[in-house]
Structure 1
Amino acid sequence: MNTQVVPFSQLTTEQIALWGEMQQTNPELVSPYFTPEFAQHVARVRDDVEVALLREGSEVVGFFPFQRTMWGVAKPVGGRLSDYHGVIAREGLEFSPTKMLRDCKLSAFEFDHLVASQKAWKPFHADLKPSPTIDVSEGFESYLENRRADNARLMTDSLKKEDRLTRQVGPLTFEWNTTEDAVLQLLFQWKSAQYNATGVTDIFSFDWTRKLIENIWKQGNSPQFSGVMCTLRAADRVVAMHFCMRSGSTLHSWFPAYDVDAAKHSPGLVLLTQMARHANQHGVHRIDLGKGDEQYKRSYANSEAMVAEGIVESHPFRSVIRKGWTTTRDLVKNSPLAGPARAPVRWLRRMREWLSMK
């Protein structure tokens, strides 16, 4: 198998159509992150999006989109914004990740949301994590019965909180996809405040991330790819919103936010319940909540997809060096030096987060 690397902008119409067909027919790739439209939107706001075309002879059999860093390390398209990544191909494609990286002149590929079912990557998995999902394919009432049977109190209690929010704030209005620009700007405001309050890098302080979200939201309601802004109002006041991406019958949670002044009513959970209740009416059977062990995800989810964390090195020597560093780091973490080392490690982590968004 040979690999050809091109900027996304140089893909032909036929190649983009083939990418879309592979994504739509492979059940491993239902997430909107695997669509050519998502990569295209990122390429419109960044100039470092490339695509490896995997070829058998003259036939393209797979696509591997990535962003090339200044150190020759590949990261997923969208960087920290990517909740799924991998090779887009038909089921069962066999390929060598290390050879692919060498052909791309890449030193490594770091991943944290790699679709775990792709066998070629499995030797490079360092850890597996669940991405909790809400499956409402059998209807909301069936889903609700399942959650009650599992004693998922956080989810079932949200029904009571709907009533309390209505009584204490005002009548509730749910909208599946608002088109009001003021709601999007409010999302940016609330999320930035959340990031700053929790001490993590504010991803919306970068112009390209705001443009990306705006472009996806404004692109229109395509059945294969679109942005969806679900909102909840109480007495005409926005108390929660949830920006998602959709591909086919899958809706992926991306940026949930709520009014902290209404926090005691859990408006974010009330909104998520409304989304699950109305999903089937809009052709959505699955809501992916994204990787994470938050309590609300455990309570709402009745299924999950597995994603992998790890790294692929294009040359064995680099792998040996990295393993040596990892061993040393783990020894320090379990030694009396752990305390003094914590502050510089936190600084380095913040710096790495910031660089990952550049």
Structure 2
Amino acid sequence: MTLDLGRLRVDILATEDLSDSDVEQWQAIQASHPAFESPLLSADFAFAVSRARDDVRVAVYRRGDRAVGFLAHHRRPGGFGRPIGSPFSDYHALLCAADLGVSGPEAVRMAGLKAFRHNGLIDPHGLFAGTAEGQHTYAIELSGTPEAFLETVRAASPKKFKNYRRLQNRLAESGALRMGPDRSQATFDQIMGWKSEQFTRTGVQDVLKPDWTRRMMQSLFDTTDGRMTGLLLTLYAGDVLVGGHFGVMAAGVFHPWIASTNPELAALSPGQAFLDQAIRSMPALGIRVYDLGPGHDHYKKPFASTEREVGVGLTVVSGAIGTLPRVKESVWSLGGLDRVSAVSRIRKRLDHIAAVDPSASGRARGLLEAAWSIQKRLASADAKA
């Protein structure tokens, strides 16, 4: 589909319809600004997601015959757009230069969308000026040696890291700690299995359950060559698997989504031991940036060297075309409902369910699991009362 709106011409393409020139220009724009360096903003990630889902589209903004902007997204019914790879889209962006010539909402409208959900917007040019920030993401970047970096973070929280070191020493009683990339299918399956068990145990929707996420993760694990590869890092204590991180890596930036540890070692804080060993291994692994993404501040923040806010919210286009999304969004604000924490959590859970599994059966399953989780928590609260 092509839209010609005067200043820019917009092509709405499936990834397989992108030309070699389009992909080269995508890479050039991504390389033009450090804020765009995440593998999740790459054409390669869009291709990886499109191999698992059929609703991936890319709005290619052209000035003349030259591509000057890219908005990769999932095109959902009713003209609703979600970031590519959602809910694994810790970062997303309208990739373009500062002089695109239109605002973010105008770009969304030109893409033929009525609304676009943001849950990790990178916007260095301020095109989505009305989008709220507030979600924090964390990353580790070494300016010197790993040892010097770890000494700096220890100095900032000496008591906390003294305890981490004590628990890590106990962990090492099972055998020498060793960290590295892992190509074992059995280990990959174990890391994924532990994560799914954690989701079930904590009442969080299992993002690894839908067929498309399993296909995508397996495909990425199998991708060992190219600009972007899948990477599984594991930590062992002797012959005991302590835990692993799995995600994507490109140009020295590693972005893991899946972090899981051996539940039998939970008392020894294996997650902290993993990060300690991962930081020590970064130079040997060619990792320049270890991007921890958003959430779990208590776990990530003590180790992070950089922290930034990303955009969250909903962009709704102006005019009659955006009326229905605006009405749906405003319902959550009636009588100040959006300021009630329980309502806010329900809203986020419903949106998460919709993002995780686009199928009707998957959403129904997600609602049932959410109801079961609420019932379980209420029963637990009653038992403690």
Normalising by structure 2, what TM-score? 0.83
Taking the aligned partners of 1:9 and 1:329, their CA distance within structure 2 comes to: 47
Taking the aligned partners of 1:253 and 1:156, their CA distance within structure 2 comes to: 26
In the alignment, what sits opposite 1:218?
222
1:160 correspondence with 2:166: yes
Q: 1:90 to 1:333 in 2, by over 3 A?
A: closer
Shift, 1:333, TM fit? 5.4
1:279 correspondence with 2:282: yes
Q: Which amino acid in the other structure matches residue 171 of structure 1?
A: A
Preserved CA contact (<8 Å) 1:249 1:286? yes
In the alignment, what sits opposite 1:263?
266
In the alignment, what sits opposite 2:248?
245
Q: 1:333 to 1:19 in 2, by over 3 A?
A: closer
2:178 corresponds, among 153, 173, 180, to 173
- Structure 2 matches for 1:271-310, cutoff 5 A? 271-310=274-313
Q: 1:89 to 1:156 in 2, by over 3 A?
A: farther
Taking the aligned partners of 2:158 and 2:246, their CA distance within structure 1 comes to: 24
2:151 corresponds, among 145, 149, 154, to 145
2:28 corresponds, among 21, 35, 58, to 21
Taking the aligned partners of 1:332 and 1:136, their CA distance within structure 2 comes to: 40
Preserved CA contact (<8 Å) 2:105 2:128? no
Q: Secondary structure at the match of 2:129?
A: helix
Shift, 1:133, TM fit? 1.2
Shift, 1:119, TM fit? 0.7
1:109 corresponds, among 111, 116, 126, to 116
Taking the aligned partners of 2:304 and 2:228, their CA distance within structure 1 comes to: 23
Q: 1:2 to 1:128 in 2, by over 3 A?
A: farther
In the alignment, what sits opposite 2:239?
236
Q: Which amino acid in the other structure matches residue 156 of structure 2?
A: D
Q: 1:110 to 1:349 in 2, by over 3 A?
A: closer
Shift, 1:331, TM fit? 4.3
1:66 correspondence with 2:73: yes
Higher relative contact order (CA 8 A, sep 6+): 1
Q: Which amino acid in the other structure matches residue 126 of structure 1?
A: A
Q: Secondary structure at the match of 2:315?
A: strand
Taking the aligned partners of 1:278 and 1:122, their CA distance within structure 2 comes to: 39
1:82 correspondence with 2:95: no
In the alignment, what sits opposite 1:198?
202
1:327 correspondence with 2:333: yes
Q: 1:153 to 1:228 in 2, by over 3 A?
A: farther
Identity of aligned residues (%): 26
Q: 1:207 to 1:281 in 2, by over 3 A?
A: same
The more displaced of 11-20 and 74-83 is 11-20
Preserved CA contact (<8 Å) 2:139 2:292? yes
In the alignment, what sits opposite 2:40?
33
Preserved CA contact (<8 Å) 2:316 2:326? no
Taking the aligned partners of 2:157 and 2:328, their CA distance within structure 1 comes to: 44
Shift, 1:251, TM fit? 1.4
Shift, 1:59, TM fit? 1.4
Where does the alignment leave 5 or more consecutive residues of structure 2 unmatched? Answer: 1-7, 359-385
1:47 correspondence with 2:50: no
1:354 correspondence with 2:341: no
Taking the aligned partners of 2:338 and 2:228, their CA distance within structure 1 comes to: 46
Q: Secondary structure at the match of 2:235?
A: strand
Deviations 1:283-337 (A, max 9, x none): 2222111112521112111211321101111124537535642431624855xxx
In the alignment, what sits opposite 1:128?
134
Q: Secondary structure at the match of 2:151?
A: helix
Aligned residues: 347
Shift, 1:246, TM fit? 1.2
Shift, 1:267, TM fit? 1.6
Shift, 1:161, TM fit? 2.5
Normalising by structure 1, what TM-score? 0.89
Where does the alignment leave 5 or more consecutive residues of structure 1 unmatched? Answer: none
Deviations 1:318-357 (A, max 9, x none): 37535642431624855xxx98x79xx74x7545433322
